Chain A
Amino acid sequence: MKWGRAVGHFVMWTAAVACVSPLLSLIVLAFSAQWPFPHLVPSLFTADHLAKLLLSPRLGEAVTTSLELALLTTVATLLLVFPAAKAAGLYSFRGREALKLLALMPVMVPAATVTMGLHYFMIRVGLAGTMLGVVIVHTVFAVPYAFRILMYVFEIMGEQHEEQAAMLGAGPLMVFSAVTLPLVMPGMVAAATMSFVISFSQYITTFIIGGGRLLTVPLLLVPHVQGGELHVASVYSLVFIFTALAALVLLRAVVRHYYRETYFLNP
């Protein structure tokens, strides 16, 4: 028992350090001007580009648009996925396997392929270059993750709680808000997190469907990675990461505020 715990701690904290260390890389890269081998720290630091990048109105616009898109995508994904995941997680019916497979399809097909075809239809119905159009395409790619997560939550939860509540005379709305929602809340938060993250880091889809009318942080960031301007790319990357983290922390805080007692799945 003791040994198991010690090994657990070691593995866990090693992984945690490995997860965080790239942040250090990015912070150093954001400020380094010259860094020849074999120096362990840059031989020349710079901060000239910092004010220009951070104060640019384009960055503000990009952060706002990214957040709006990610929030809308999260809401749209959860609305679509929640009932379907419940169906796949709780009931057995003909076509259940097909449904599971269909929900996974967007990860099977290279994103650029789908996006190009989708762009064609979006133009025809006038959704190309609109926020709604981009939210739709982001949602397509967020569905597989959110679906899987919620499906398992429903599988674990089982049907009996809802049935018991109904037998005790609770109406459908009451069952949903007092029984189902609190039980699946941790799963909802996980699914929302994934949806948010998927949308926030979309590049090629935003690019093609948004047509440049919607400027997001990846749209600013990626060209500088490709162009090798790492001091610029690192600054944008850090903005990207901290905005996403802040948004997710906020989301969790809000959920925790409303559902203090998610006792069953999270004892």
Chain B
Amino acid sequence: MIKTITIVLMIAALLALTVGCAARPEATKGPSSFDAALRSARGKTVTFYGWGGSAAVNNWFDNVVAPSLLSEFGITLRRVPMNIDEILRKLSTERQANQTRGDMDVIWINGENFYTAKTQGLLYGPFNTRIANFARHIDPAAPDTNYDFGVAIEGMSVPLGRAQLIFMADSARLDRFPTSAEQLLELARVNSGRFTYPAPPDFTGSAFVRNIIYEIVGFEAINNAPVDKAAIKTVIQPALDFLNQLEPYLWEQGRTYPADVAALDRMFLEGQLLWSMSYTPLKAGQLIAQNRAPASLRTFVFDEGNIGNTHYVAIPFNSPNKDAAFVLIHHLISVAMQAAKLDVGNWGDLPVLDLTRLSETERATIAGTNIGQGVLPMSELLTKRLPEIHARKVAIIEELWREEVLQR
């Protein structure tokens, strides 16, 4: 019996090897110009693949972007909720299998996933300067136009929105908000068991740990450190010491941590914790607008600033409708869509537009958008915005946190 199974597996492996060794695919051609794309894309269906875990984000795509894309450009939008690691897994399999016509036209991506996609050749491009609204609205010199988590973009993606780590607390339950690492330690000491953060590699928890590192050793120190575990450990040791100092005052004395930010939110909203955090800067406005939190909810950041990052859209190498992808991306970074995206009733995500390039009325549109209650104004968020470090260092820091903080 074992013999039969072994033989079957061996045959399977052999077959797999023979089909696996085929030539690399040629990417399907993109449109010759943006105007040509506008013409040929009419009547087509364009697919957008991205994380679908937020009703607000989904609502913006389904009820704001999709109808206007259809009426203005004659293109039907099909949004598919899919996590970025599944998207990349799927794309890299398609790459191996030489599938030149895939399913996805536009994907939502940033950070280490962008790094993976770019280095594995899963993306189409460079294309960003060929999008009309990119040339018109986006600052070509802005850091986030050129680097995504320290990875050179080189025309392979277009910014869609700006996220930033923020903290939230209920002013009815906490009269003073911690706006530095020291104050957090002090408050946690007084309110023992009422603070914690999601365990990295949760995206938000990982950002919080980096925020503490920035605060304690400085952005430059970690940014200049080489991509090497021992070197990074030396640089961030004071920050790890701080987190260990904080640990006994955290929820469950830091013996365990919530698995993800969704759990942290739940513990906060049900009254067990005194704070929560989010990568959606206007999250408090959303929660209040949806009646899921009281109106006394407030947003705050550290005085030294909080990590912010930009999220992007890109076109997979095997997108079947690159012309329609061009038009969709063009539409996503129009003033109307960016303003609607900022609206807390839709999504509450910061725009990527260069305000100096906009007309008076366009600026007024953005300024007049309802960003909701309990949030920080856009100007304050942008002045207290810290850049991201290279994607590969993020994974090393997560490993160090596990070894030096969690397992101690």
Q: Interface of A with B (CB < 8 Å)?
A: 33-37, 44, 46, 48-49, 56, 58, 95, 97-98, 101-102, 116-117, 119-121, 123-124, 128-129, 204, 207-208, 211-213, 215, 219-220, 223-224, 226-232
Contact = CB atoms under 8 A, between A and B. Distances in A.
A33 B292 CA distance: 5
Enumerate the 9 nearest inter-chain pairs by beta-carbon distance, A residue then B residue, closest first: A227-B53, A228-B262, A212-B80, A223-B53, A123-B97, A223-B52, A36-B271, A98-B1, A211-B103
B169 to A, nearest CB: 14
29 contacts: A33-B291, A34-B291, A37-B270, A46-B291, A48-B290, A48-B291, A49-B55, A95-B4, A116-B89, A120-B20, A120-B93, A120-B97, A123-B93, A123-B94, A124-B97, A128-B94, A207-B86, A208-B86, A211-B104, A212-B82, A215-B80, A223-B52, A223-B81, A226-B262, A227-B51, A227-B54, A228-B260, A228-B261, A228-B265
Given A120-B93, A220-B81, A129 B290 contact: no
B151 to A, nearest CB: 25
Nearest to B49: A212
Given A223-B52, A229-B53, A212 B96 contact: no
B293 interface: yes
A224 B55 contact: yes
B90 A98 contact: no
A224 B19 CA distance: 38
B53 A207 contact: no
* Residue of A34, A220, A232 with most chain B CB atoms under a 10 A cut-off: A34
A212 B291 contact: no
Contacts of A97: 1
A121 B294 CA distance: 52
B5 interface: yes
B104 A212 contact: yes
B145 interface: no
B11 interface: no
Residue with the greatest number of chain B CB neighbours at <10 A, chosen from A46, A101, A121, A223: A223
B266 interface: yes
Interface of B: 1, 4-5, 16, 19-20, 47, 49, 51-55, 62, 80-83, 86, 89-90, 93-94, 96-97, 99, 102-104, 260-263, 265-266, 269-272, 290-294
A95 B83 CA distance: 42
A119 B271 CA distance: 45
A49 B58 CA distance: 13
Contact of B93 (A44, A116, A228): A116
B332 to A, nearest CB: 19
A213 B102 CA distance: 11
Contacts of B260: 226, 228
A213 B103 CA distance: 8
A124 B293 contact: no
Nearest to A220: B81
A32 to B, nearest CB: 9
A215 B294 CA distance: 35
A36 B1 contact: no
A33 to B, nearest CB: 4
A48 B96 CA distance: 46
B292 to A, nearest CB: 5
A124 B19 contact: yes
Contacts of B272: 37
A208 B81 CA distance: 12
